[in-house]
Amino acid sequence: MIRKGYVDTSGGQCHYRYIEGQGTPIVFLHQTPSSSLMFEKLMHSLEGMNAVAIDTPGFGHSFNPLGQPMIKDYSSWLIEAINSLEINHYHLFGHHTGASIAMQISLMEERSVKSLTLVGPFLATAEEKMKMKKNISSNWSPTKDGSHLKKAWHLAGEILGAKNDLDLRQRETLDALGAHHSAEQIHHAVWEYSDIDAYKKIQQPCLIMCAKDDVMYPFFNRAKEINPDSQTQVILGKNLELDLDTESIANKFKGFINKI
């Protein structure tokens, strides 16, 4: 059974969902503009393991940060949340924005993080990021005519990849609508963060996964170039791999951590 709760941080309360089991806990960090809800299906597939998925500040039911936080700020709040849960050692699993935060946490908490699994890390140069920035919009703020609803529906279905899975599309649409301001905040933080520099410093064992139609796939092979010891796996599911290729991801992940 997946349970839910809140923990206090210096910025406010963070919401999380967890499932109890055996072994070293797994901490999940979601993509933008999703929430920890995106990991429920995978958590059920990993039944028997300890797992916790946390809503990044600004998303799901966690507090909304003020100003312009950077990746280190988000990482610090999430480290506080993890520490409040009395999790001392853990496997870290991040998707897209969650991958950037996971890398930063791995650098800040090197002794606590036992392994790093990243789905679609943003291993792009500053020039590549600026080029992508011109083509990616995170503006679906409320409009008088309600056109923002259609924007969020399009985002969930066509860009993220839910397509005709209406339950999944509805879930992602609702998460996006609730995070219209936070998505702009955190995207700014992502543009300013150097995932490449962070990944070069990672000491933990790494598993990198990505679908060929994921927006981050052009940078997928860079993980192996930067760190030849990285394990890499191609998966399915566009930008919603955790929902659309769950069993394959669960099996690859279990095979990875069982060797650590």
pLDDT of residue 140: 86
Domain ranges, residue 244: 3-125+186-257
Q: What are phi and psi of 205, to 5 degrees?
A: -60, 140
- How many domains are contained in the chain? 1
CA distance 199 to 221: 13
For residue 14, tell me if it sits in a domain.
Answer: yes
The CATH number of residue 15's host domain is 3.40.50.1820
For residue 165, tell me if it sits in a domain.
Answer: no
Q: Is the pLDDT of residue 137 over 90?
A: no
Beta bridge partners of 197: none
Q: Taking residues 131-142, what's their average pLDDT?
A: 83
For residue 238, tell me if it sits in a domain.
Answer: yes
For residue 160, tell me if it sits in a domain.
Answer: no
pLDDT of residue 52: 99
For residue 246, tell me if it sits in a domain.
Answer: yes
pLDDT tens per residue, range 48-104: 999 999 999 999 999 999 999 999 999 999 999 999 999 999 999 999 999 999 999
Q: In angstroms, what CA-CA distances link 80 with 32, 34, 73, 185?
A: 21, 21, 11, 20
Q: Taking residues 144-171, what's their average pLDDT?
A: 97
For residue 178, tell me if it sits in a domain.
Answer: no
pLDDT of residue 171: 99
Q: Is the pLDDT of residue 136 over 90?
A: no
For residue 46, tell me if it sits in a domain.
Answer: yes
Report pTM.
Answer: 0.97
For residue 170, tell me if it sits in a domain.
Answer: no
pLDDT of residue 135: 80
CA distance 98 to 182: 14
Terminal-to-terminal C-alpha distance of the chain: 27
